[in-house]
Amino acid sequence: MNCKRVRENLVNSLAAGESVPSGELALHIRSCAGCRFFYETESNRLRSIDTGLQSMVNQDIPTSLLPSFRARLSQHVEPRRSWFPAWSIAAGVAGVAAVVVLSFTLSRPRQPLESHPSFPLKSSAAAIQNSNPPPALPTGRKFDAVPSTATHRRIRSSSPVPDGAPASSEVIVLAEEGRAWAEFVAKIPQDKTVALALTRPAATLPDPPIEIALLRIEQMELKPLEPEPNN
Amino acid sequence: MQELVLTQPGKLMEASAAREASETAARGELEQLLIDSAPLAYRVALGVLRNPAEAEDVSQEALLRAYRRFHLLRDAHRFRSWLVRIAFRLALDRSRSLRRRADRETLWARPELRPPPQSAEQLAAQSQFQERLGRALEELPDGQRLVMLLTAMQGHSVDETAAILGVPAGTVKSRLFKARKRLMEKLR
């Protein structure tokens, strides 16, 4: 084993914490003065490292450490723990946001019934003139398909109205009036006068002229103010 | 579904009083544990910072942080290891910020940063060696540095260091070997 190899092994043995080299290393140190000097120097260096580290970290604990820590601990305010975990708060906020968005969507003002392009009475009036047989009453299933959460129900009137009506005609009615409306539409062809009266515009009568008469005061008596009696 | 349980008011008060008493006892135990571990936190901080005043401040901060976040610690038996890591991290952060501050300020503007007066050659040599040792320690990887500090601290054995850090003894040995070898090379 040459000196270079021996010195590497010596450093390794010192770093591993072996106090005295053994075997071939010990024999070489005994015979080689240079390696013996190297070993002594390195072991002294390692000893100084250990001593330096020990003196660095094993200093006396300052007497103010614990009192200062106790003081800081007493000043520390315990953070108030929430009754609900964070995820439940987030879920609640998301739920409220969803409800707000849903209610906003549903409460948007819809187009008035008369101005709706597919107002069914126009089409049903045309259908009455064709005098087709009355269609059957819509079954409950058809209405069940309409979402019940809606404040107004959109009822497809293609089935209740006669065949001549356009398939896309629909009317917006209140949810609770849906069935009554469907019955009404189904009965329209039976009573043409009612249907036509409904579809015709109301007669416009001129308003009578308004007369404005002047206010007349026949007699007027003037009296002086009397002083109040003193108590 | 939640059950509705009718409880007598007296019993309810007793239960809440018992809960409060147990919470107070647990808090007292934790405070005692922190006080017992304070020297360890201080020495770890001192090993990194080499400044007693800064080490004291950092160790107090580490203890306070451990107190605040104790509920996050899953295994209470690893408290010391956890505290050592907190103190070590805080000390490293403080060391970096101090170094940045020192770079900004001139050395002579702050008398406390001036080197101590050299009264004797030996003292000068010792001081110089400590300075070199400190710099060499700073250049070690964090794991090796912490192992070196803990083994030097109050003569902790490899097994004790492994128990404090919560790592196998073999890991401590290999880190110690690499750290010593590197320090010897740097201080040659």
Output the domain CATH number for residue B144.
1.10.10.10
pLDDT score at B119: 55
Q: Look at residue A84 and tell me if it is in a domain.
A: no
List pLDDT tens digits, range A38-75. 998 888 888 889 888 888 888 888 888 888 888 888 88
Q: Look at residue A31 and tell me if it is in a domain.
A: yes
Q: Look at residue B55 and tell me if it is in a domain.
A: yes
Asked if B149 lies within 8 A of A64 by C-beta distance, the reply is no
Q: Look at residue B6 and tell me if it is in a domain.
A: no
Q: Mean pLDDT for chain B?
A: 82
B60: closest chain A residue by CA = A69
Range of the domain at A19: 3-54
Query: Nearest C-alpha of chain B: how many angstroms from A31?
Result: 24
Q: Look at residue B40 and tell me if it is in a domain.
A: yes
> Are both B154 and B90 inside the same structural domain?
no
> Are both B102 and B134 inside the same structural domain?
no
Q: Look at residue B91 and tell me if it is in a domain.
A: yes
Phi/psi for B141 (5° steps) reads -60, 150
pLDDT score at B101: 79
Range of the domain at B90: 19-108
Kind plus residue range of the DSSP H or E element containing A155: strand A152-156
For residue B56, which residues of chain A lie inside 8 Å, CB to CB?
62, 64-65, 68
Q: Decide: B45 and B9 in contact? Cβ < 8 Å.
A: no
In terms of pLDDT, which residue wins out, A133 or A24?
A24
- Sequence-ordered list of residues with C-beta below 8 angstroms from that of B55, at least 6 positions apart, any chain: B42, B43, B45, B46, B48, B49, B91
For chains A and B, what is the number of CB pairs under 8 angstroms? 96
Q: Look at residue A19 and tell me if it is in a domain.
A: yes
Tokens of B138: 């700073």
Rounded-to-integer distance, Cα A47 and Cα A53, Å? 10
- Assembly ipTM: 0.73
Q: How many domains does chain B have?
A: 2
Average pLDDT over residues A29-38: 89
> Are both B138 and B101 inside the same structural domain?
no
Residue to test with chain B: of A40, A42, A57, A82, most B Cβ within 10 A: A57
* Sign of the alpha-carbon dihedral angle for B163, B166, B170, B175: negative
> Are both B99 and B158 inside the same structural domain?
no
CATH of the domain at B62: 1.10.1740.10
> Are both B31 and B99 inside the same structural domain?
yes
**b/e map A56-87, b = 16+ CB within 10 Å:** bbbeebbeebbeebeeebeeeeeeeeeeeeee
Asked if A66 lies within 8 A of B35 by C-beta distance, the reply is yes
Q: Decide: A61 and B39 in contact? Cβ < 8 Å.
A: yes
For chain A, give the percent of residues with pLDDT over 90: 3
Q: How many domains does chain A have?
A: 2
